[in-house]
Amino acid sequence: MARKDIRIGDTVKVERAGDVIPAIAERVPVPGEQRSTPFCMPDHCPVCGSSVGREGAYFYCTGQLVCGAQLKGAIEHFASKHALNIEGLGKKTVAQLVDTGLVRSLADLYRLTSADLVRLEGFADRSATLLLESIAGSKTVSLDRFLMGLGIRQVGQHIAKVLAREFGSLGEIMSADQERFQQIREIGPEISQGLVLYWSEPRNREVITQLQESGVQVAPGMATGDRKQSPLAGKTFVFTGGLDHFTRDGAQQAVEAAGARVSSSVSKKTSYLVAGRDPGSKLDQARTLGVTILTEQEFAALIGEDKNGLS
């Protein structure tokens, strides 16, 4: 920005650099424009006033637990689809909850009442009830989703699943040391260091305690030992065509919860091909290779999710 004298509000010419990354080529002067002052990286957080730290290319607010902006981000992440999946807790609502002081920590979400919510702009009895229901519905959560929701650095969906599978319970993860984490193939020194650092911070542990006190129950994930006892352990599933009662994500989670895995292509090692609506060429490949082919209903029955009498 400094080199090319780019300021907030400028009109710029963007080019493709490398494969896809857009780069600003130059500023396009607009006759009569009022330009803003040159940008300077702030040395204090514009939201909470804490000092700004730097890690490589990243500048960040050091007021992790007192910063309203970070709290909003943390709640949005906690409630997101792949974490606690709390429907109706979008950016706007989170901002209202934090700005009004109703929510000062993740655990405060579980203390909200209908009376709190209807005071907020845009909330009526019905929308308040729906949000409270989806918050209550998130109280029982699988270990991997819970871990993912905490927003520990570098612990995304995949690593959260790896940890859940390897350790099986939150307590085991909280008490593991760096050496233990590094015994896991997918976990390198950076992630294991991040994990140990996260759990060594008393305030982070306090968040867990508060969440548990407000009724959040983290269902133990399947530890490696238990997983082997599942009849589907080690099996490989491939999906083709559309499913009516599962999202692809949901189907994958069900498969993984049973200790099996999902692959994207059919091979001799494929255990089951699940053929939904309008299956693709994978169906023919499976037939040629003699792979067991399941309908969606048969799949649901196999993984034990046939509760709704799919038909």
Which residues contact Zn ion (rule: CB under 5 A)?
45, 47-48, 50, 61, 63, 67
Q: Which is nearer to Zn ion, 120 or 207 (CB)?
A: 207
Q: Which is nearer to Zn ion, 48 or 174 (CB)?
A: 48
At closest approach, how far in Å is the CB of 287 from Zn ion? 59
At closest approach, how far in Å is the CB of 44 from Zn ion? 8
At closest approach, how far in Å is the CB of 221 from Zn ion? 33
The amino acid that residue 5 corresponds to is D
At closest approach, how far in Å is the CB of 84 from Zn ion? 24
Find residue 51's DSSP bridge partners. 44
Q: Which is nearer to Zn ion, 72 or 161 (CB)?
A: 72
At closest approach, how far in Å is the CB of 65 from Zn ion? 10
Q: Which is nearer to Zn ion, 67 or 164 (CB)?
A: 67
Q: Which is nearer to Zn ion, 78 or 167 (CB)?
A: 78
In sequence order, the 6+-apart residues with CB closer than 8 A to the CB of 23 are 14, 15, 16, 17
